[in-house]
Chains A and B, each alone.
Chain A
Amino acid sequence: MNFIYKKYKMASKYFKKALNKSPKYIKKFTSKSFDVIDRIHEILEFKNLNQKKLAQLLGKEESEISKLLGVGHNLTLKTIDKLEAVLDADILITPKKIKVVRQNSLWSSSIKIRIKKIYIYKKLQSKDSRCKIPKIKKSLNNKRNKIRNFTSKSSDVRDRIHEILEFKNLSQKDLAQFLGKEESEISKLLGVEHNLTLKTISKLEAVLDANILITPKKLKVQRKETNIDKELQSKESRCKVRKIIPLNNSRSNRRSFK
């Protein structure tokens, strides 16, 4: 037997060549599939759950779950919705919210709430009715949850696709041509009841050259950079400071506050 203590050089002859041949949508799909696996495991770890418990929550066999969480599994939006409901966390979201935050637009419901929050805080500050803040905060959170329940993933995806088509000045006919399909198939694909799969979404992403669904991990990072968040934080911190003052009845404090 030979004892060898040196490094060998790269031996792969075909890997890179073969990888470059793979279609763009497959690259997108595989990377999305890995993102989803990472995200689900992140949530499971955070919630102190495992695949067995997840199987129990979904009423499925553990083997089915391991298949579901396997690399390259073509998940449907309905399954993602179910997983999100069971885990009570977002797995995939449309990046519309990021764009909207960037543009300060009033499209997104969550942004509407955020802006409303700022508006209410401003109003509260002007009226000096600081004690009501916790109650309003609670009602705002309830509203947000209700909206979250009402907004289905599939309608989010459809809105996002239409937004991209509009932005790129494309029609459904163009999209049908890009995908090599009939226009009727596209309108069916973008229909309310159609249960889109990750592979189809990746194909659409590759053709439209834009993200339709992303994992919220990236969103969090981008959210941190938005001005609205900073503004909200500063407002909240100011409110916190002011909240303490009315509890003290001394005249000197009131004067200094004015």
Chain B
Amino acid sequence: MNLFVIIEEFLEFEHVKFYTVKIEDEENEERESETDEFISRFDNEENEHFEEFSILLNSIENIGKRGALPKYFRFENDAEALPPPRGTNLGIIIPSDTELRLYCIRLNAEIVILLNGGVKTENKAQDCPNVSRYFRFANSLSKKITQMIITKDITIKKKELLGELEFYL
């Protein structure tokens, strides 16, 4: 089934603008953005992963203040195999030492698209029941955006993503 995806602004800091993605379907039109859904899932002080979740949110803030430099991300193997015309990368923001993952697409040092994530329970993300769908979605979205940047359907102007920000995936 084709998903209708909307890329929208999420947060803006001095050096980085974070975007997120909204998936619209016929059943539930008023769906939250992927990252907001992730936050609402973990934002509970009684959650066993609350500390790692807090580190993750603070990491997003720190990246926003310092710039989305590759040293702050961990990149997936699949993403490294992608053609790198404009440095499109599928990354993960993770508090080290934990299994909590937030998938994202780092377009450059100023633009990051935050997606969804969860607690990884298996060695490979694609085998994990918690994160495999987010991982697969992140991979296919990353490929699609890379293509759209090549065809100039999406353009990058400083911290802004312009062009076709609503599309079927």
Measured CB to CB, the residues of A under 8 A from B are: 1-5, 7-15, 17-19, 21-23, 26-27, 29-31, 34, 37-38, 41, 66-67, 69-74
Contact = CB atoms under 8 A, between A and B. Distances in A.
A31 B155 CA distance: 32
Contact of B95 (A5, A10, A15, A72): A72
A65 B162 CA distance: 37
Secondary structure class of chain A's binding surface, majority of residues: loop
Contacts of A15: 10-11, 35-36, 39, 57, 60
Given A18-B39, A18-B43, A9 B9 contact: yes
B62 interface: yes
Contacts, number: 116
A30 B52 CA distance: 10
A8 B51 CA distance: 31
Contact of B43 (A8, A21, A37, A74): A21
A31 B52 CA distance: 14
A34 B164 contact: no
Chain B interface bracket (under 10, 10 to 19, 20 to 34, 35 or more): 35 or more
Given A37-B71, A71-B72, A2 B164 contact: yes
A73 B10 contact: no
A26 B93 contact: no
A12 B11 contact: yes
A72 B59 contact: yes
B39 A70 contact: no
A117 to B, nearest CB: 37
A11 B59 CA distance: 19
Interface in B57-80: 57-62, 66, 71-72, 74
Given A15-B39, A19-B61, A30-B62, 19 more contacts: A3-B163, A4-B163, A4-B165, A11-B9, A11-B33, A14-B36, A15-B60, A18-B53, A21-B43, A22-B54, A22-B55, A23-B51, A26-B58, A29-B55, A30-B61, A67-B96, A70-B96, A71-B62, A73-B97
